[in-house]
Structure 1
């Protein structure tokens, strides 16, 4: 009797189609060519359709799941902008983050569902705030490549370094720090597990701060992150 062969593990979902579009239509500053995405709308929609049908499962690694949901957030944010393009700001769309306009795995969802209901709640890694891009100037720059499980931690660290050392996002001196509003809005995320805003900043910023550094928060520029 021939023993049954074990089923091969399912191949990880491929974000190659999104990666290709990001490389073409996001520049080195993380600005987006939305007209470019619009010109390849069929390819983009095909990727979103596959994304919708292939949610990660509990059997997938943590990195695989996180990469999927970060890519999904950024891709559906671009889709939301295209649905309302041209516009000056994502905030011109009524309650953009609460808007239920896509489904993944048969579940109707909003961008808030991904950010707060899945990524922040399930994975508890504050570095996601350096990767999720809300289509605005003050957001972290959109990475000109898709996130992948194999390189996720390195990609998130790279995003953090880029964000913290960009004077348009954070202005740092030893005596005063004007930080992104992210460090105020998500203070509970930064101040957990023995961490603090100061520790997170110093992990990635070239200019170090300490408990005596006067911290304030920069005004947030909601204008569209367009090239």
Structure 2
């Protein structure tokens, strides 16, 4: 009974932290061209972010975030239009969070939780600095309360970027509904074949903690089958799997 009660309260805690009803509107699907232009200017092909460039161009980033804030997905939007919107929103607001705290000599996004003192906020992903459709939310709400809950799409873990070196590379173009499947597949290939994040041989693999943290999102497909779908080096079915230490250093510089 004690175990059941503990699980019950754990679920309540998770829901209270991440549970949020996705805001909706009657707006037409938004253009991500503004964000696309900024990504092309300030993100390298390998996902290294020029935060100094974004800082100088903050007015343009704010214009895009204002569009995102004022135009939550509508019921008439396709699933791809909604998912592209939320992925771009997460990545763009993450960049803004880094810029908002750049005066703190930021070396890692995790420094934000240590250096800013906001009651009841434990991590940078709990900071409610986002307003979409009149709802205040944080990055956890977007990732866990909306994207993971609504879309059941494991490839989002290769597209959402939390500003750390061990994260997937930030794509230097915005996600769009028209190309979303192609873009997600490409992100999976780039991430899984990046030897700084995943070291794969025939008999063993040292892989990103993302596969450990979000293993349930990939089921019923096994991790080996997921890796073999995208990896240039194919693993044996009984290959030994271990998880690499996650590098939380900032994925770029000022």
Q: What is the TM-score normalised by the length of structure 2? A: 0.83
> Structure 2 CA distance, aligned partners of 1:111 and 1:217?
25
5 Å-filtered alignment, 1:1-227, equals 11-85=28-102, 86-94=105-113, 95-192=123-220, 195-227=221-253
> Structure 2 CA distance, aligned partners of 1:207 and 1:103?
43
> Structure 2 CA distance, aligned partners of 1:43 and 1:28?
21
Q: Secondary structure of 2:31's match?
A: coil
Count the aligned residue pairs.
217
Q: Secondary structure of 1:149's match?
A: coil
Structure 1: gaps (5+ residues): 1-8
Deviation at 1:11, TM superposition (A): 4.1
> Structure 2 CA distance, aligned partners of 1:10 and 1:40?
26
Do the aligned residues in 1 keep the contact of 2:46 with 2:169 (CA within 8 Å)? yes
> Structure 2 CA distance, aligned partners of 1:29 and 1:111?
23
> Structure 2 CA distance, aligned partners of 1:78 and 1:174?
37
Q: Secondary structure of 1:153's match?
A: helix
Q: Which runs of 4+ in 1 moved over 3 A?
A: none
Q: Deviations over 1:91-129 (max 9, x none)?
A: 001101111111101110100001001110000000000
Deviation at 1:10, TM superposition (A): 6.2
Q: Secondary structure of 1:24's match?
A: helix
Q: Deviations over 1:131-169 (max 9, x none)?
A: 000000000000000000000000000000000111001
> Structure 1 CA distance, aligned partners of 2:36 and 2:125?
23
Q: Secondary structure of 2:178's match?
A: helix
Q: What is the TM-score normalised by the length of structure 1? A: 0.93
Q: Secondary structure of 1:202's match?
A: helix
Do the aligned residues in 1 keep the contact of 2:27 with 2:74 (CA within 8 Å)? no
Match of 2:120 in 1: none
Match of 1:6 in 2: none
Deviation at 1:211, TM superposition (A): 3.0
C-alpha RMSD over aligned residues: 1.2
Deviation at 1:67, TM superposition (A): 0.1
